[in-house]
Structure 1
């Protein structure tokens, strides 16, 4: 695996992974949820590959989320290793492969499912290769953990496509929930690494030191949830519910120790803390579903996806884009509104659909509008940040 020479200066958009991947992800977040919300409301028809429900779930996980994970990892690996990150033509090719997958998923009903699946499945293995190269080059084995996670994400994507190819819906559920747990795991790992550090740096306070047993137990619980889905949901519902209850409780304790109350005046911090809060909330909602069917599975899933993933994605994109473009970590004031819109969308989509089921159409449309407005604000604010050179003249 080769990367462009550090002496080359490609267009600013292709100088580091976060730039194109964050931009296309933000644009796609608006298009995908706008299309889904309008279809659900009956404003227009949508007949994509796999059907509209399959498309919505697949594209938010393997289109939107995967793009942001890619942008973050391909940028972080340069910091971790000191090896120049992928840029220029290889990065443009990666973006093209991602875009081909999105186009085929939208207009794919007339194509062979095997062809659509094969082309869509190219993206994450390419990302894994670009990640593995610098990590192996400098023998940084600790962060090599992300490469098998990307391989498992590829497997999860294959399982969702297998449901279309075989006509067996259970493959879609297994693949999508495997991806859900894998991304939750990534959020827990990365959140644990950066949130205490960012909080200390941003508030001028002492960093909260991790409690070893709490960190290990919290992450182990999510690993067990990943393995349970990977091997076909072997755990009985009551055992799975207790595991989710334990996981949610541990991550809630973890979150509380990071002192969210110190961050309320710093948008780049409170947004990260609030996003992480949706992880224990989602896990506790899963416990409520499996222990007594007190909450719909969809409510738990959307706490993790809209609130957890959507919130953390926007918060991390906002911070990473400023830091890696040489700008001060001071977002435009309107970004506080963008963060709030995403969290409000999560609450409307989850609590609203549960408590106001008779008005489900209004709830879904409102949540879609809030989400799209949030990412529209991000796109407008960060377009120049992502498409122009660093303000300090450095590469990247």
Structure 2
């Protein structure tokens, strides 16, 4: 049996391991409480940052607002996504894994919340406590997947485990910098983390694309199977990893331009997966959404490569917004929609508000990425782009919170 067929079979069988007993809907599966908290947290964080950056409010509890913003957008939100993805996906990826629900699940969510609060008020809390609260969720997820990864004779998900270990190492590296134990800037470390998160996103997208697109094909009675081709993803991961490492070690080396271009080309190559032999699915809503993620990711590395060979305007850090505002935002938005739909017993659907959310994230990305070309309107651009970026997650709350707060539509536990 192929890996793709096995994954599809696990997706329908893993509920047989669901713990006995009654649990409130918001603690009935890992994605539920995480998404209930994450959507408003995303909105609050980005609005606070934009108005603080504009000087309209004062984040007096944060001594370094830029580091706070970068860390929260990467690790604060990123770890929440990791928790939701692995708590939801582990029973599918690793057959026999018992879903984490109820009080155990609530404990993990509380630790994540305490990590967010502690980081916000890091100036008033012992930094070691802040570090422990922030790294605990990643350590817990790694412990959750370690045994099934090692016991799997095919080592199918070893790459996910490695990605988590690397992100944990970079996170510890970051806190050692904050503590003054190493002389590396926190900004450089967080840029390194962005590359690691991008690799994890590519790994996750391979699995999510396969689940979501095959669900869509089955619902529309299309007798064809979508496959995420490993070589295409592996090439993209190799190029992105190489660029990330070399940029950290040799940030001014001109060779980075060509590696960035190679990364963009490799990422665009993944889109070939969506060209099926007998059916045209390129213009179906969720296919367009998933392709948009890859296009924004390719734009990010393509424009970064262009910046290295463009001596007139230095826009490197602004072009990174393709990877943060664009890819990070769109990945979370689309994946939250897919999981909140499929794993509450419903078929994937799209509507005007979901599509508008995708458009707003893309528009917000371009506004923020090209700010140096209209510097005189920088403050207005940051505020407008932040509001546009936050709106899709407000749409998400309106549409999907009722799904998260109620039992599965098909009556299956979870």
Same fold (TM over 0.5): yes
| Partners of 1:276 and 1:9 in 2: CA distance | 40
Out of 192, 214, 219, the position equivalent to 2:237 is 219
Displacement of 1:241 in angstroms is 1.9
Alignment partner of 1:237: what SS?
coil
| Partners of 1:211 and 1:12 in 2: CA distance | 36
Out of 304, 315, 321, the position equivalent to 1:296 is 315
Match of 2:126 in 1: 112
| Partners of 1:362 and 1:262 in 2: CA distance | 41
Deviations 1:316-363 (A, max 9, x none): 110111101101212454222222222221121112x13211100000
Out of 353, 358, 370, the position equivalent to 2:388 is 370
1:250 and 2:250 matched: no
Match of 1:23 in 2: 36
1:286 and 2:300 matched: no
Task: Report 1:199-278 matches (<5 A).
Answer: 199=213, 202=216, 204=222, 206-207=224-225, 214-228=232-246, 232-234=248-250, 237-255=253-271, 258-259=274-275, 266-278=284-296
Greater mean alpha carbon deviation, residues 233-242 or residues 190-199: 190-199
Out of 156, 162, 178, the position equivalent to 2:176 is 162
1:321 and 2:327 matched: no
| Partners of 2:147 and 2:25 in 1: CA distance | 23
Question: Is the 1:77–1:135 Cα contact (8 Å) retained in structure 2?
Answer: no
Match of 1:8 in 2: 21
Displacement of 1:198 in angstroms is 4.0
Deviations 1:12-68 (A, max 9, x none): 112221112222221110111011011112221113445111100000101112211
Out of 154, 162, 173, the position equivalent to 1:148 is 162
Displacement of 1:69 in angstroms is 2.3
* Closer, same or farther: CA 211–155 of 1 in aligned 2, 3 Å: closer
Alignment partner of 1:142: what SS?
coil
Match of 1:184 in 2: 198
| Partners of 2:76 and 2:186 in 1: CA distance | 15
When normalised by structure 2's length, the TM-score is 0.85
Greater mean alpha carbon deviation, residues 300-309 or residues 182-191: 182-191
Displacement of 1:79 in angstroms is 1.0
Question: Is the 2:209–2:228 Cα contact (8 Å) retained in structure 1?
Answer: no
Question: Is the 1:159–1:174 Cα contact (8 Å) retained in structure 2?
Answer: no
1:75 and 2:93 matched: no
Match of 1:343 in 2: 362
Displacement of 1:72 in angstroms is 1.2
1:57 and 2:75 matched: no
Question: Is the 2:18–2:99 Cα contact (8 Å) retained in structure 1?
Answer: no
| Partners of 1:319 and 1:305 in 2: CA distance | 20
Deviations 1:140-162 (A, max 9, x none): 62213322321211222222223
Displacement of 1:8 in angstroms is 2.7
RMSD of equivalent CA atoms? 2.7
Greater mean alpha carbon deviation, residues 277-286 or residues 247-256: 247-256
| Partners of 2:346 and 2:228 in 1: CA distance | 30
Question: Is the 2:296–2:327 Cα contact (8 Å) retained in structure 1?
Answer: yes
Question: Is the 1:81–1:140 Cα contact (8 Å) retained in structure 2?
Answer: no
| Partners of 1:22 and 1:5 in 2: CA distance | 20
Deviations 1:252-277 (A, max 9, x none): 23225525995576433322211221
Displacement of 1:175 in angstroms is 2.2
Question: Is the 1:303–1:350 Cα contact (8 Å) retained in structure 2?
Answer: yes
Query: Unpaired runs of 5+ in structure 2?
Result: 1-16
Greater mean alpha carbon deviation, residues 240-249 or residues 55-64: 240-249
Provide the aligned length of Structure 1 versus Structure 2: 390
Query: Unpaired runs of 5+ in structure 1?
Result: none
When normalised by structure 1's length, the TM-score is 0.89
* Closer, same or farther: CA 45–182 of 1 in aligned 2, 3 Å: same
* Closer, same or farther: CA 8–166 of 1 in aligned 2, 3 Å: same
Greater mean alpha carbon deviation, residues 300-309 or residues 43-52: 43-52
Deviations 1:114-150 (A, max 9, x none): 3322222222111211232444465562213322321
Task: Report 1:352-367 matches (<5 A).
Answer: 353-367=371-385
